[in-house]
Structure 1
Amino acid sequence: MSTTFSHTPAATEEEFGRRVAARLSAGNLELPHEIGERLRAARMQAVGRRKVVRQLRTASAVVAKGSTATLGSGWWTRIGSVVPLIALVAGLLVISAMQDDNRANELAELDSALLTDDLPPAAYTDPGFAQFLKTEAQSER
């Protein structure tokens, strides 16, 4: 078996994994079938978990190289994740202020219409006025 050593951590880790797997497989032939199957199932679970952990670790460890922007774990990443939240809150505040202004304008128009009308404002609160409006509407039909 020839061994080649690479200087990257991933290659060194891969080489170590191959050596351990070869040693474990060599002793596997002497074990009963039931134990060998349990070990094979455990090995498959470990490999599945390792792939998930490697993908997560890779995504958080990517850093900026050259003039390209990539994921990182510095201040710019944190600021970049807060900026959309700030924009959302600012947008909600602007919308709320605009709705308050629109509501105030509607109420001002209603108040000015009531004050410039021929009837006094107290007439609208009189119970007899509501009855008068109902009889007027029925008589016009």
Structure 2
Amino acid sequence: MNATLSKTPSALEEQFARRLANRLSAGNAELPHDIGERLRVARQQAVARRKLAPALHPTEVLVSSGGAAALGGGWWTRIGAVVPLIALVIGMITISIVQDENRANDMAEVDAALLTDDLPPAAFTDPGFAQFLKTHASDTASH
């Protein structure tokens, strides 16, 4: 097992802090003595003032599921899980109905155009005739 994965978060933080401190201290040799001393004192003050994070302790949570006052579970959870599913089903059914109506309206327009227009019998056997009627009907509707 990898040794890095088995370390605790506090050990990893300590390791990071040491690497950071070493990196910051690497250039101290080239600095003048007075600047190096001021940096050392500033580091000591920063370490003294640092705030320790409060330790997190697990606490017990008591949830009462008896009655309507317990909104954290029970039948509210069931309703919350079912409502989106019902909304999805209703939406899908509505889309299906609207698409069926649109298809029926398109076919009715083509049928009406065929029945009201004077056409030679050969026009009915032409495979591109239905497409022509659709484009012609949409052109006249837009004007």
Superposition TM-score tier, normalisation by shorter sequence? 0.3 to 0.5
TM-score (norm 2): 0.40
- Between Structure 1 and Structure 2, the one with more helix by share is 1
TM-score (norm 1): 0.40
Return the structure number with greater relative CO, CA threshold 8 A, min gap 6: 2
